[in-house]
């Protein structure tokens, strides 16, 4: 759970605090950033979802590997 929350917080800091500083140095078309904030929040939630699903899949894979090792040690 700590990994999921950490990913979401770091993604939030990156998008809303660090990238605006970097964007100042690149010429752009002047799109208002406030219209993009809901999209950014959705990206943050998706990042947390990807980390959560990856963690679940890795746990299941390790369980299957343990079951496989138990079977081979019994034979």
Neighbours of 31 (CB within 10 A): 8
Interval 24-36 mean pLDDT: 68
The DSSP element (H or E) to which 47 belongs, if any, is helix 37-74
The string of DSSP letters for 18-35 reads IHHHHHTTS------GGG
- Domain coverage including residue 64: 2-24+37-74
| Distance from C-alpha of 5 to C-alpha of 11, rounded to nearest angstrom | 10
Alpha carbon of residue 25 to chain centroid: 27
Please check whether residue 69 lies inside any domain of the structure.
Answer: yes
Into how many domains does the chain fold? 1
Res. 59 pLDDT band, cuts 50 70 90: very high
Please check whether residue 31 lies inside any domain of the structure.
Answer: no
Please check whether residue 30 lies inside any domain of the structure.
Answer: no
Dihedral of alpha carbons 49, 53, 56, 58, sign:
negative
pTM score: 0.67
Please check whether residue 32 lies inside any domain of the structure.
Answer: no
Please check whether residue 7 lies inside any domain of the structure.
Answer: yes
């Amino acid at each position: 759970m700590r990994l999921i929350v950490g990913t979401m917080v770091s993604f939030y800091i990156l998008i809303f605090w660090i990238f605006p500083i970097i964007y100042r140095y690149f010429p752009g078309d002047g799109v208002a950033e406030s219209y993009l904030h809901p999209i950014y929040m959705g990206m943050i939630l998706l990042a947390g979802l990807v980390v959560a699903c990856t963690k679940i899949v890795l746990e299941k894979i390790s369980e299957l590997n343990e079951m496989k090792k138990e079977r081979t040690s019994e034979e």
